[in-house]
A and B are shown apart, each in its own frame.
Chain A
């Protein structure tokens, strides 16, 4: 009896090895690769470290972490199914963002709109490749270059794609300094690259900064009410920052809450990268389409920048159009770097920051409109 008991107990050990399959090993390797990118290369470490580790955990056989009573499932149900995590992150982002460069020159919001073209063109491409309507929506939203927006839309309409869409979105956002410059150089003339823009003067009152988030929230509520869960928290965070009377709440949102939720969000995204769901040709397609989305965003932003340059009589440097995406502030810095390479007197950073924050609002507005259209079409 004792011998049988010992044998049975020994048999239960090492189950992780006997149940391990090649796809599991491959996904654990991908998790390790994300850890390498985050830790050794410093690429989006706040997300790649928890995502990578979550991917490793979920691909350990028999651990059951995404099973009904697994802690990753609990976190997933708590924060992803309810859409709570991206919403809380948005409050933090709003509390960290200074919209003053955008408010100095509101016309730059149009560049934020152009920077969302990639979403819709990629949606069409995804449909052409055979993805369903809702899957195409989730893939197209990679073009928003906004993690919480991508997570919000994907978890609502195509939760089985959450792992691949999130990793694609954050990977390409970190690759903006590599993806954007060749497109910016190819689409602008030598003269356009060297255009110097006027110095940004302070022209925004405190009242404007306080009323701006309220205005945007109400505007979104009227135009695309389904998007208020995205725009509202972003603007709440910004209102807390600009009002100056709830500094503790703004600081907590921007720091403690944002950090805690980032950790939990990363883990749960990693938890969706189970071998059976992640390893297929469709995931490769998502990564390819995500790249297309960001290149189209950049191209359309620069092209609209050229149009604005023409309309303004050469006062606007088209390069700032590339910053009309939501990858803040990386894209603005890329514009400054590229512009400076061609003209040492050109300081495009503040203008690019305006376009970048415009892209932030543009991406959320585009998602809000998409959500409202989908609801109106009765697809959900």
Chain B
């Protein structure tokens, strides 16, 4: 197999696979971030006295 095709297939496998895995990991980290800092309605709409 020529070097060009080795380059192309490497880029496709590692590149696409890497993109999928890294974005999946990022989605997990965002989920964790939301658990650590949950949304509270009171913070969004603070009551004024």
Knowing A127-B5, A204-B39 are in contact, say whether A362-B19 is a contact too (CB < 8 A): yes
Q: What's the nearest-Cβ distance from chain A to residue B6, in Å?
A: 10
Bound complex: CA of A124 vs CA of B33, how far in Å? 37
Bound complex: CA of A200 vs CA of B31, how far in Å? 16
Q: What's the nearest-Cβ distance from chain A to residue B49, in Å?
A: 21
CB 8 Å contact bits of A204-239 with B (1 = contact, 0 = none): 111110011001100100011000000000000000
A109 touches B7 (CB 8 A): no
> Which residue of the partner chain, among B7, B15, B28, B37, contacts A133 with CB atoms under 8 Å?
B7
A361 touches B37 (CB 8 A): no
Bound complex: CA of A117 vs CA of B17, how far in Å? 10
A330-380 residues with Cβ-Cβ distance < 8 A to B are: 358, 361-362, 365-366, 369-370, 373-374, 377, 379
B18 touches A223 (CB 8 A): yes
A92 interface hit (Cβ, 8 Å): no
- Per DSSP, chain A at the interface is helix
- With a 10 A CB-CB cut-off, give which of B5, B9, B37 has the most chain A CB atoms: B37
A157 interface hit (Cβ, 8 Å): no
Q: What's the nearest-Cβ distance from chain B to residue A204, in Å?
A: 6
- Which residues from chain B contact A374 at a C-beta distance below 8 Å? 11
- Which residues from chain B contact A208 at a C-beta distance below 8 Å? 30, 33-34, 37, 39
Knowing A106-B30, A215-B30, A373-B10 are in contact, say whether A127-B4 is a contact too (CB < 8 A): yes
B8 touches A116 (CB 8 A): no
A106 touches B27 (CB 8 A): yes
> Which residue of the partner chain, among B5, B11, B16, B28, contacts A117 with CB atoms under 8 Å?
B16
- Which residues from chain B contact A379 at a C-beta distance below 8 Å? 7
Knowing A121-B12, A203-B39, A205-B40 are in contact, say whether A369-B30 is a contact too (CB < 8 A): no
> Which residue of the partner chain, among B8, B33, B44, contacts A136 with CB atoms under 8 Å?
B8
The closest CB in chain B to the CB of A300 belongs to: B16
Knowing A110-B27, A205-B39 are in contact, say whether A370-B11 is a contact too (CB < 8 A): yes
- Which residues from chain B contact A223 at a C-beta distance below 8 Å? 18, 22
A112 interface hit (Cβ, 8 Å): yes
> Which residue of the partner chain, among B18, B23, B29, contacts A110 with CB atoms under 8 Å?
B23
A-B contact pairs, 15 of them (CB 8 A): A103-B30, A106-B30, A112-B23, A121-B12, A123-B8, A202-B44, A208-B34, A211-B33, A215-B33, A223-B18, A369-B22, A373-B10, A373-B18, A377-B7, A377-B10
Interface residues of chain A, those whose CB is within 8 Å of chain B, are: 103, 106-110, 112-114, 116-117, 119-121, 123-124, 127, 133, 136-137, 202-208, 211-212, 215-216, 219, 223-224, 358, 361-362, 365-366, 369-370, 373-374, 377, 379
Interface residues of chain B, those whose CB is within 8 Å of chain A, are: 4-5, 7-12, 14-16, 18-20, 22-31, 33-34, 37-40, 43-44
